[in-house]
Structure 1
Amino acid sequence: MFYPFDHKESTANPPGAVRPPGRDRGESSPPRHGWRLRVAAFTAAVIALSTASTAPAAADPVPVGAGSYTTDQVGPAPEGCAPLANDARAFLTDSAPEGAVPTNDWWSSLSFKKFNCSMSEPLHAHPVSYKPSPEGLGLSYTQEPTLYGTPGGIGEFHYPYSQDLVVGVAGLNASVAEVADWSDWTVTPSWNDGARSMTATIGHGLPLTWFEMAGGDAVLTGESDLRVWLDDGARIGFSTGGADYVAFAPSGSSWTVSGSELRSGLSGKGYLSVAALPTTPADDDAARTAQADAFTPYAYVEVTGTRADYVYDESTSVVRTTYSFETEAHEGGNAGTIVSLYPHQEAYLDQVAGDGPGGGAAADREYESARGTMTTLIGATSFTTDTPYTGVLPEVPAVTTSEGDANARLDALLDAEADDPMSIDADDTYWTGKALGRAVRIVEIADQLDRTSIRDTALEQIETTLTDWFTASPGETEHLFAYNENWGTLVGFPGAYGSDRELNDHHFHYGYFIVAAATLARFDPEWATDEQFGGMVDELIADANNYDRGDTRYPYLRDFDIYAGHDWAAGHGAFVNGNNQESSSEGQNFANGLIQWGVATGDDDARDAGIYLYATQTAAIQHYWFDQAGAMPEGFGHSTVGMIWGSGGAYATWFSGEAEMIQGINTLPVTGGHLYLGLRPDDVVANYDELVAVNNGDPTVWQDILWSYLALGDGERALAGLDGDPGYPVEEGESRAHTYHWIANLADLGTVDPTVTADSPVAAVFTKDGARTYVASNITQSPVTVQFSDGTSLAVPAGRTVTSGAHDWSGGGAGGTEPTDPPEPTDPPEPTDPPEPTDPPEPTDPPEPASPTFYLTADGDLAAEPGSDDTAVLGARSGPDAVGDPSTGLTATLDHVTGEFGGDATAFDIGLDAGQDVGNGTRLRVSYDLEGDGSFDRVESYAYFATDPVPGFERYTSANTTMQSSEGALGDLADGTIKVEVWNVIGNASTLLDLQDSVVEVPFESLTVGAE
């Protein structure tokens, strides 16, 4: 796919710049990684690959039921600063928790050091951001956003780290900041220079930072504008860098002020807390002092741990999550702390426990943050949210497309998928996942319509693929999973987009595998048992989001940020803007897979973990990607973003500047597990209209994805769009059959009705014109009865989907189709006169034998040798599908070609250079007219290649990319034509095409060129 899901940033690519793609998928995939150029700037002594210089003897695969994984390092290992090559705990102290080291977190650059090998990148905890330095810990409370780009166009907003003060020990000069401890949403950095030491506990939602120090006085160094407005012994209140702070030393302490430096001996007790205060008018020191007074009873309470515990209440379809604080009071008798809630938590806040005013009730104190306003609880020991769970389905029901003409249309579209439902020629974990996801959609539709032959072909492909990947053989290096004990991770090889080198995107990749396994479990329960391949599915789940705290082989909930409420994509998070995530919808695909796997196999723990992830992320996605609370900064010009950063958000992607992809990346894959996208139908329509406005017209790429999203808000409008553009290009993970099925049925069902819930996880309600349709799917092996919250009840046989209300329908699980009558006999064709004889053709010279390798030339020919021109210029894109446009591409053809199809695939090696420009992407298409009749029998389009911003040719090859789409089939060439087209599909700059070394190799033998 062209989606770079974990995203690289450097000072060379500041916020607002159109960055080179790189969803942190590794170099084994198409090299869309401007970030890797930054790595080259670091010395080999600092950056080291985590690979052994001498390969150990191969280990026997570890059996998991009938499946297995290897413990050999069969591909790239995680990369980082040199010590990590052999010890992922290299930047942890001896006191750090045992077990696998967390990755993919907001603080990961502190332990998974990638570029800064001594300290870390900024750590955006909210409301405070932090940055370690040799002298101590920098603090920043940024209250106003910085906007980049064009309002209403591609742009970003950030609350960047802007240092207000540094807290340290006098004379501290540590060579490295390590990690001494962590909990569900806190981390404790540690400094030690041999004579002085310090730790600091920081975390999401904690405006109080706790410090422990030894070896010298506490020293706080502010900016030049530091102004003290409170100094009453142990407390000192001051403003610096545009923010207000209070430092709380132990009782009996005092502070000295020298310019912008504050110093205290801490009465020899060695602890200190520093509070960032809510925003106060510049001239209101009395209000600042009042804030300090409110914080004082809790300023001496150390947060020693945090934990979130969840329960899924089936009867009310609510996920009840309790966020608890472990504390130790160093002075006074309080147990509570001060905690700020994210908007997605406040929206569903149910209970607060504590010893603050009103038992820790919400106070009238608010902080500004990259996620909007954070309301603050005073004296809380815990708080509980009741977040609604709104249900998933294997697929929308066929209430419309199972009858009449609509059925004939869908049948024809399904027929086109009969031979190869997976379709995508995939090799790595991401693209294999995409292919599996495509086949799963075909299974669901074919099963609903009793097209069992097509369904079973897709199931066979799914089972063959999963079984292949879930089985490791001695010496095997591809299509398997490998456990890396050093890092506590299970990596699929070949990896993609940094899933191996940086531990990126495991939830994205593995979610597709888990959904496919859940689907297979319905039709072949034996395959999914622990004795067969169910255990391997559980291993993938545990790697990406291990919900078993007792399993220390993997970190707890690796990809999920428990307090922030959503996933992070980058394994190391080493960016100035913190960690990031683009495709929230692919994160939800993992949660959906976990739900359906748990239900299908009877594993309630897996089911409930999936529901917890799904419900929590639904709330976070609606707030932060789709701006439910209207909190995006004024002037940003958008009510949706393509990606979230620790410090903000961006109407952008790492791989495209097209509005369709910026917005579409958070709506795919289109499945029954993504009904949450339709919880606010008016917002769906508004977002689609925003896309059209930014795009200056209807979508020209990813139309199927975007129509499917629009169908959740206005199905009839989406269907009209689909009917009006029947030749649209199909997105790689989609099929025409599924897109039509989804849109046509939603046009009849209407929109999701979240006001009615069910006591089953696999159920939903739709409403249209005031009439409801109740839908329940039974993906177990026994009949179930589903009760809806308004009293409606549905009895659902095993393996079927049942609807009631505005549409009464049942389908799926029929196991076969009804016999049909044989066709009526027809009359034989009328005899025709024999053709008139013609003169024999004039003899011609026999064609010359030719090599199957051809060079591109500037004059538009495919030639056996390079032409005289060194390069050709591909102009800036004039549209994603501007193929054949001479201003943006090059077309080269060869006529009168004859040869025998050899059964191999097209191969190519193309040199491209976009100079120092970023954001360019080039696509290649090869077409074959087998008989020279002017009609192309086979057309192959390849995923585009994103160039980096460094001069020098890069290689766009068939080995490092994937086929995006193909039409028709190859056969023997008989006086045929070969056409090669190369053109820019994204980017605003030109690209040089290397003509001396750019070749295409065609899969034909005994090749000759010349008129017959």
Structure 2
Amino acid sequence: MHMSVRRAAAGKPGRPTSRSLTGRTLVLAAIASVTAGLAAVAVTTTAEAATVGAGSYTETLPAGAALPAGCGTLSTNPRQFLTADAPAGPVPTNDWWSSLVFKKFDCSYSENLHAHPISYDTTAGGLGFSYNTTPQISGSATGVGEYHYVYAEDFTAGVAGLNAPKVLVDDWSDWTVTPYWSDGVRTMRATIGHGLPFAYFQVTGGDARITAKSTPTVWSNSGARIGYSVAGKDYVAYAPTGATWSVSGTVISSDLAGRGYFSVAALPTTPGTATADKLALATSYGQYAHNHVTGTKLSYSYDQAAGRVSTTYAYTTTAREGGGTGTVIALYPHQWRALTGATPIAATYVSARGAMKTLVGRSSYTTSAVFSGVLPEIPAVADSGGADLATLNGYLDQVKGDPMDVRGNDTYWTGKGLGRAARIAEIADQVGRTDVRDAALAAVRERLTDWFTATAGKTQRLFYYDRNWGTMIGYPASYGSDQELNDHHFHYGYFIAAAATLAKFDPAWASGARYGGMVDLLIRDANNYDRGDARFPYLRDFDIYAGHDWAAGHGAFFAGNNQESSSEGMNYANALIQWGQATGNTAVRDAGIFIWTTQSAAINEYWFDVHNENFPEAFGHGTVGMVWGDGGAYSTWFTAAPEMIQGINMLPITGGHLYLGNDPAYVRANYAEVVRNAGHEPTVWSDILWSFLALGDGEAALAKFRANSGYTPEEGESRAHTFHWIRNLAALGTTDPAVTANHPLARVFVKNGVRTYVASNITAKPLTVTFSDGRTLSVAAGRTATAGALTWSGGDATGGGADPTPTGTTPTPTDPTSSPTPTPTATTDPTPTPTATTDPTPTPTTPGGALRFLQSGGALAGSAGTAGTVSVPKATHVPDDQPHDPVTFTATGLTLTHRAGVPTTFDVAVDAGATVGNATQLRVSYDLTGDGSFERVETYRYFATDPVAGWERYRETAGLAAATGTPGDLANGTVRVEIWNAIGSGPSTVSLGSLSTVQLPYQ
């Protein structure tokens, strides 16, 4: 799966000891020397652990730990699905083609490979083609819904008689792959890739054979070239000069004049395109048909002075005949909108990402995109006479004793806690609360140091390096980060970001001599930025051509690979920028800037569709929770709640997520969709959604916060950080991405037409930042400065106020417990007196428990509990919409207010294994007063499951089969969920815990 089953109980995610704070100005001078060793980490290996500076990892698998697992002996031999000629080094994972080599379910071939504009499948007889231009849309415009350009095979290209027992991988490059077939007599190599309308073949042992699913319509057959249509799609096959093609029924064949190569291209035509226009395209493409693409390579550069990222996509071609170069290239929207120095042809391809525009005869192309800048944190510019500062200080007091608030011991939940503490440290530093800042930094330092130390016999909170897979796995792992290599960029991004915050205050800890090398290894594991480093695949989680991350390690789904939380992917990219800037490592910084800039454009296109051009018109949503290889889904892996479907692409809220506000009008529209689809203002993840809204309308977000300050914070957030973020954005206004700077940690805001300029200086020397509109800003060492409409209002280390370590309060560097005691002032009193209007300790309230989880023992609980499964017996009656031998889940004692007009929703993970013809059905019954009689009963249509192992999602979108009674408020009421098999000859399995939820229509 991917970040798959990632969210637990309360809704989301579901998703340091010696303190050397000797004063930032004094210690920052050490950065250049302490980071010099990070580019080439020194590793000393022992039987127990490999040391990296003061840190270490293990190469001995901890007791009870799991490795990547798939077919056969995959966990110990991932190269069993590679040929002897395949590249050496670590095997790529988390890519669009990963199911070819990381075989999870199909142990012989692969799942569908959505390359765009063509999708492919591998079978014993060859390579299947699908150029599907018609989306399949399910669900509704206000509830869970999906669109998919499903794999619908038009034909298979292969060799006559080919019957390969398995498909191997013979080669790969940055966005292409070469599968290999052999049955002992016949062989075939096929190179396919993102953005390639062509597939290129080399064959032996027989004639080239194209076998269509229906009789093809041949519109041109002239010598070595044949043009044909299948299911309304136009293709051209090119054989060597001197060869011919013959057609017999559904089969097109050629002996290739004995030369063993050919290519097939899909044309960007539509039904009704004139034959003359098809021929013109076929001729144009034909000039490059035998220039087989044999390699692709990315190069990028960050122009700091101009604030732009230039990216070049280059193609290596091998001319099978003649001496030509160049090929045909289809560009995604995020690419062609930023294209420089070239003009696409008029015809475009339909894809799951929108229109793909085409370049003909090119060997490379270049894009240029604005890098609009990131910040360590939103600056503290709003005071409102001191009342809001008093409120913030009260919130900081609340979190001082437990700044991390870790909800789990695994890599993901540890990361969430680290992220929370890092945000608290940043804002506490800004307002002079060095006691809170230092408590947060100490917690970060202690936890990171623990994870970065693998002592003899230690089995928990450590990292293990697997040489076969070329990966660092943290244990305890979570959400498939071990067995499926899921989500490393999500989990490790939090570690790296927290380390970056710590590095600013304690550069010695971040040095290569201490723990900087361990941070660098996590960076390289998730997205290795160094092509010369053979320990990890290059950019593992980042799809270079698609412009965004993929979460699933194996990508073995019918719909291709997937990613849910694009914003957690951006958290990783921002972490690289912050870490690289804090440690002086420009290679890491620039890799982060490249990923951040490219992916923010992809998110705006494929998760948000800000231009309203890429989603199918009938889909009805303005955003998706998940992107799939063949489409998108307004859903998540863990819930059907609109707040979380949309919120999962907003969190965590950091100064690296200001791209979310590039289009304030879209921000407001996105938030309005949450309210419309939920039928009410957010009741879960309110803080995440208000923080997002603040990027489009800070005043509105602040009003919502003030009206409901007793909300339950999202698990990785604090009330202190949310209030700081929203209150200051209400003062700053919205971001102005059109104005860039010659410094990566800078941003511009605008309110009522007046700009505020912000820059952060993490160096030991003063810095002058120049913005693209000519404005300059002087920033003192170790400070953040503002200029323009707003100036600083609170003392801080990263702002323009008081020194955070006043004379006499500098702690001893080796003292892990002492905290500097700031001198209180009238405007930065750390213990403000609460007032009726600025109460710093509001009484928390519970959202109401409307999200329920199926738990073992038949509970319908308010938290996920322990993961498990339950068997649903096989069907024993003809389907009659009545439960027969159901498994039952019950919640009692519920007192909740009904939300009129809001339906029940559910999302249940069910699997029939290999059983053919099963269908699972569900009923929800409401006993409003708990007296034993059910006043409202809702029976949903049964859900037909497939005979392939793996969870499928049964949702309320199947539709109501029957509903009786009238909904109403619950007063000590009971809710019962019954699940049974309506048809089928075998039992089914339902997942319990975070994968199966019911959202009750109550608040």
Judge same fold: TM > 0.5, yes or no: yes
Task: Map Cα deviations across residues 741-789 of structure 1 (whole Å, 9 max, x no partner).
Answer: 1001000000000111111111100000011000001123332221111
Within a 5 Å distance, the mapping from 1:347-496 to structure 2 comes to: 347-352=337-342, 361-401=343-383, 404-496=386-478
Q: Which residue of 2 aligns with 1:47?
A: none
1:955 Cα shift?
7.2
Q: Letter of the aligned partner of 1:719 in structure 2?
A: L
Within a 5 Å distance, the mapping from 1:493-512 to structure 2 comes to: 493-512=475-494
* Native 8 Å contact 2:858 2:888 kept in 1: no
Q: Which residue of 1 aligns with 2:182?
A: 192
Q: Which residue of 1 aligns with 2:55?
A: 67
Query: Higher RCO, 1 or 2 (CA under 8 Å, sep at least 6)?
Result: 2
Residue 551 in structure 1 maps to residue 548 in structure 2:
no
CA distance, structure 2, for counterparts of residue 563 and residue 514 of structure 1: 25
1:655 Cα shift?
0.5
1:857 Cα shift?
11
Residue 533 in structure 1 maps to residue 515 in structure 2:
yes
CA gap of 1:806–1:948, structure 2 versus 1, over 3 A, is farther
CA gap of 1:727–1:125, structure 2 versus 1, over 3 A, is same
Q: Which residue of 1 aligns with 2:660?
A: 677
CA gap of 1:955–1:249, structure 2 versus 1, over 3 A, is closer
Q: Which residue of 2 aligns with 1:986?
A: 998
Choose which of 584, 590, 601 in structure 1 pairs with 2:566: 584
Within a 5 Å distance, the mapping from 1:989-1008 to structure 2 comes to: none
1:880 Cα shift?
12
1:881 Cα shift?
12
Residue 812 in structure 1 maps to residue 796 in structure 2:
yes
CA distance, structure 2, for counterparts of residue 66 and residue 888 of structure 1: 61
* Native 8 Å contact 2:7 2:638 kept in 1: no
CA distance, structure 1, for counterparts of residue 928 and residue 207 of structure 2: 66
Q: Letter of the aligned partner of 1:318 in structure 2?
A: R
Q: Letter of the aligned partner of 2:227 in structure 1?
A: G
Q: Which residue of 2 aligns with 1:81?
A: 71
Q: Letter of the aligned partner of 1:147 in structure 2?
A: I
Per the normalisation by structure 2, the TM-score is: 0.78
CA distance, structure 2, for counterparts of residue 670 and residue 539 of structure 1: 25
Q: Letter of the aligned partner of 1:700 in structure 2?
A: T
Task: Map Cα deviations across residues 837-876 of structure 1 (whole Å, 9 max, x no partner).
Answer: xxxxxxxxxxxxxxxxxx9999xxxxxxxxxxx9862389
Q: Letter of the aligned partner of 1:766 in structure 2?
A: F
Q: Which residue of 2 aligns with 1:761?
A: 744
* Native 8 Å contact 1:402 1:449 kept in 2: no
* Native 8 Å contact 2:573 2:595 kept in 1: yes
Residue 617 in structure 1 maps to residue 599 in structure 2:
yes
CA distance, structure 1, for counterparts of residue 732 and residue 571 of structure 2: 23
CA gap of 1:383–1:871, structure 2 versus 1, over 3 A, is closer
* Native 8 Å contact 2:379 2:430 kept in 1: yes
* Native 8 Å contact 2:224 2:238 kept in 1: yes
Residue 95 in structure 1 maps to residue 85 in structure 2:
yes
CA gap of 1:820–1:551, structure 2 versus 1, over 3 A, is closer
Q: Which runs of 5+ in 1 are unaligned?
A: 8-21, 34-56, 353-360, 824-854, 859-869, 892-914, 921-944, 962-983, 991-1012
Task: Map Cα deviations across residues 566-625 of structure 1 (whole Å, 9 max, x no partner).
Answer: 000000000000000000000000000000000000001010000000000011001111
Task: Map Cα deviations across residues 164-214 of structure 1 (whole Å, 9 max, x no partner).
Answer: 010000100000011000000000000001000001000000001100000
CA gap of 1:857–1:628, structure 2 versus 1, over 3 A, is closer
1:916 Cα shift?
10
SS across alignment from 1:147: strand
Structure 1, 57-66 or 168-177: larger mean CA deviation: 57-66
Q: Which residue of 2 aligns with 1:912?
A: none
CA distance, structure 2, for counterparts of residue 591 and residue 548 of structure 1: 15
Choose which of 768, 771, 796 in structure 1 pairs with 2:779: 796
CA distance, structure 1, for counterparts of residue 711 and residue 234 of structure 2: 56
CA distance, structure 2, for counterparts of residue 211 and residue 787 of structure 1: 53
1:101 Cα shift?
0.4
Residue 6 in structure 1 maps to residue 10 in structure 2:
no
CA gap of 1:220–1:954, structure 2 versus 1, over 3 A, is closer
CA distance, structure 2, for counterparts of residue 881 and residue 477 of structure 1: 48
CA gap of 1:821–1:250, structure 2 versus 1, over 3 A, is closer
Residue 748 in structure 1 maps to residue 752 in structure 2:
no
Task: Map Cα deviations across residues 456-515 of structure 1 (whole Å, 9 max, x no partner).
Answer: 000000000000000001121110000011100000000000000100000000000000
* Native 8 Å contact 2:859 2:890 kept in 1: no
Residue 325 in structure 1 maps to residue 325 in structure 2:
no
Q: Which residue of 1 aligns with 2:919?
A: none
Residue 873 in structure 1 maps to residue 873 in structure 2:
no
Task: Map Cα deviations across residues 655-712 of structure 1 (whole Å, 9 max, x no partner).
Answer: 0100000000000000111000000000000111111111112111110000000000
SS across alignment from 2:765: coil
Q: Which residue of 2 aligns with 1:208?
A: 198
CA gap of 1:820–1:662, structure 2 versus 1, over 3 A, is closer
* Native 8 Å contact 2:202 2:260 kept in 1: yes
Q: Which residue of 2 aligns with 1:297?
A: 287
CA distance, structure 2, for counterparts of residue 553 and residue 690 of structure 1: 45
Percent identity, aligned pairs only, is: 55
Residue 781 in structure 1 maps to residue 769 in structure 2:
no
Q: Which residue of 2 aligns with 1:231?
A: 221
* Native 8 Å contact 1:759 1:787 kept in 2: yes
1:331 Cα shift?
2.3
SS across alignment from 1:298: coil
* Native 8 Å contact 2:12 2:714 kept in 1: no
1:387 Cα shift?
1.0
State the superposition RMSD in angstroms. 3.1
Q: Letter of the aligned partner of 1:782 in structure 2?
A: K
1:304 Cα shift?
0.7
CA distance, structure 1, for counterparts of residue 406 and residue 259 of structure 2: 64
Q: Which residue of 2 aligns with 1:978?
A: none
CA distance, structure 1, for counterparts of residue 80 and residue 929 of structure 2: 51
CA distance, structure 1, for counterparts of residue 201 and residue 954 of structure 2: 43
Task: Map Cα deviations across residues 874-928 of structure 1 (whole Å, 9 max, x no partner).
Answer: 389998999xx9959999xxxxxxxxxxxxxxxxxxxxxxx998469xxxxxxxx
Report how many aligned residue pairs link the two structures: 824
* Native 8 Å contact 2:12 2:644 kept in 1: no
CA gap of 1:30–1:809, structure 2 versus 1, over 3 A, is closer
Choose which of 547, 572, 582 in structure 2 pairs with 1:600: 582
Choose which of 507, 516, 520 in structure 1 pairs with 2:502: 520
Q: Letter of the aligned partner of 2:70 in structure 1?
A: G
Q: Which residue of 1 aligns with 2:688?
A: 705
Q: Which runs of 5+ in 2 are unaligned?
A: 16-44, 798-802, 807-821, 830-856, 861-886, 900-923, 931-950, 957-976, 982-986
Task: Map Cα deviations across residues 352-389 of structure 1 (whole Å, 9 max, x no partner).
Answer: 4xxxxxxxx42112100000000000001100000111
Q: Which residue of 1 aligns with 2:41?
A: none
Q: Which residue of 2 aligns with 1:660?
A: 643
Q: Letter of the aligned partner of 2:387 in structure 1?
A: D
Task: Map Cα deviations across residues 522-541 of structure 1 (whole Å, 9 max, x no partner).
Answer: 11000000000000000000
* Native 8 Å contact 2:444 2:498 kept in 1: yes
Q: Letter of the aligned partner of 2:56 in structure 1?
A: S
Q: Which residue of 1 aligns with 2:161?
A: 171
Residue 572 in structure 1 maps to residue 561 in structure 2:
no
Per the normalisation by structure 1, the TM-score is: 0.78
Q: Which residue of 1 aligns with 2:873?
A: none
CA gap of 1:767–1:880, structure 2 versus 1, over 3 A, is farther
CA distance, structure 2, for counterparts of residue 591 and residue 889 of structure 1: 49
CA gap of 1:875–1:888, structure 2 versus 1, over 3 A, is farther
SS across alignment from 2:170: strand
CA distance, structure 1, for counterparts of residue 361 and residue 149 of structure 2: 27
Q: Letter of the aligned partner of 2:553 in structure 1?
A: G
Task: Map Cα deviations across residues 209-241 of structure 1 (whole Å, 9 max, x no partner).
Answer: 100000000000012231111011100110012
